Amino acid sequence: MKYVDEFRDPELAKTLLAEIERLLPQIEATKHRPLQLMEFCGGHTHTIFRYGIEQLLPKTIELVHGPGCPVCVLPMGRVDDCVALAERPEVIFTTFGDAMRVPGSKKSLLQAKADGADVRMVYSPLDALDLAKKNPNREVIFFALGFETTMPSTALTVLQAAEDGVQNFSLFCNHITTVPTIKAILDSPSMQLDGFVAPGHVSMVVGEEPFHFVAARYKKPIVITGFEPLDILQSIWLLIKQIAEGRCEVENQYARVVTADGNTPGLKAIAKVFELRDYFEWRGLGSIDHSGVKMKEAYAQFDAEKKFSMPNLTIADPKSCQCGEVLKGAIKPWECKVFASACTPETPMGALMVSSEGACAAYYNFGNLPQIMALKLEQEKLESEKIS
């Protein structure tokens, strides 16, 4: 567990915590249940665990870890498609490093590489485009992954490829969208959230406007938030303040990076290259309407899904792996049967253990593991007693 002294400004952190404590009794609901605030973004989840923010907060606030880790929500079938593409002899398959270890039904990209497929980690989609220019006899595919934060980069890379007349470059587009996903969470009957910590860098691209429906239609407060521990603490205070005062608004705590209108050149590039899919399949959450984008017909020649055939199968997660329940907030990571036994960051079974932004890896790396394991044992004992 971390302590408040590790914050950049411990005094400010203490003041914020005191203010939160002072406001909570004014909120009627806290007399019956804890307030549930969801941080959507995996980057926030990581900071929350790294700095032990949950332990600093009063018990009447519960943080629900949202599905905002693109690697974690990637369905197994999509990883299989990547492997199938990578194993084609003419293909150089390029990807961000985060995606290398995500398990497919048979293998991960890392295993495919060990078996001889030409899989290369790149830092930027522009590096993949360069690779295509330098290898005119090979087909270079870039695995386009991420929310709106990374969409401008892949859209601009495709526009550059078109301008330069590059024939052997394509995207395997798996970008996902934030707003339809937040809407699906709000529509889910099992979720009783009281407020949202909204993703800072998605907002940097899309601006404030797309989040207004959360406050206007669903009457939930939402605060756009930066990634430092103090940013998160300040946003939690802003959310609690809104709830205590009976307000529901979009507030921007991360104004040093996020403007109201977002990033105009980035949004223009996205609109030019991508369009919404009718639906997209998420690991654990199932199909969500409009939650992904595909490439527009005008850029079909850069679309790996049109250029190559792939299995495109829906593969169920292994039965023992409960990433889906964790993603939905139905169970805590340590309540999963394989947590820290069959599934660890070194040998992940589920995607939530692969990425450092995944809730399971965060619990494993920064949670109080001995205490968690004691709880887990106790629960298993209770269950076996129930059965016998």
Partner 1 sequence: MCLGIPGQVVEIVDAAKKLAKVEVSGVRRQVSLACIVSDEHPIEACIGDWVLVHVGFAMSRINEEEAKKTLELLMELGEAQKELESMQSSHDINLVGNS
State the alpha helices, DSSP H only, in the chain: 10-23, 42-50, 53-56, 76-86, 109-114, 125-134, 151-164, 178-187, 200-206, 212-216, 229-244, 264-273, 304-307, 323-327, 359-366, 369-387
Distance between CA atoms of 223 and 232, rounded to whole angstroms? Answer: 10
Selected binder of partner 1 within 16, 53, 140, 156 (CB under 8 A): 156
Selected binder of partner 1 within 66, 67, 70, 207 (CB under 8 A): 70
Residue 130 interacting with partner 1 (CB under 8 A): yes
Residue 256 interacting with partner 1 (CB under 8 A): yes
Q: Which of residues 270-309 bind partner 1 (CB under 8 A)?
A: none
Residue 125 interacting with partner 1 (CB under 8 A): yes
- Per-residue binder mask for partner 1 (CB under 8 A), 44-63, x = binder: --xx--x-------------
Residues 6 or more apart whose CB falls under 8 angstroms from that of 370 comprise none
Residue 152 interacting with partner 1 (CB under 8 A): yes
Q: What's 250's DSSP letter?
A: E
Mark the segment that binds partner 1 (CB under 8 A) among 16-24, 66-74, 78-86, 293-301.
66-74
In the complex, minimum distance from the CB of residue 8 to partner 1, in angstroms, rounded to a whole number: 7
Residue 43 interacting with partner 1 (CB under 8 A): yes
Token reading at 274: 């991508």
In the complex, minimum distance from the CB of residue 233 to partner 1, in angstroms, rounded to a whole number: 14
Residue 138 interacting with partner 1 (CB under 8 A): no
Distance between CA atoms of 205 and 203, rounded to whole angstroms? Answer: 5
Q: Which of residues 193-252 bind partner 1 (CB under 8 A)?
A: 199, 201-202, 204-205, 227-228
Q: Which of residues 341-380 bind partner 1 (CB under 8 A)?
A: 357
Contact predicate 47/225, CB 8 Å: no
Task: HSE, CB side, 13 Å, CA atoms: give it for residue 163.
Answer: 7
Residue type at 290 in one-letter notation: H
Report how many residues bind partner 1 under the rule CB under 8 A. Answer: 47
Contact predicate 206/262, CB 8 Å: yes
Residues that bind partner 1 (CB under 8 A): 8, 41-43, 46-47, 50, 68, 70-71, 96-98, 120-127, 130-131, 145-147, 149-150, 152-153, 156, 160, 199, 201-202, 204-205, 227-228, 256-257, 263-266, 269, 357
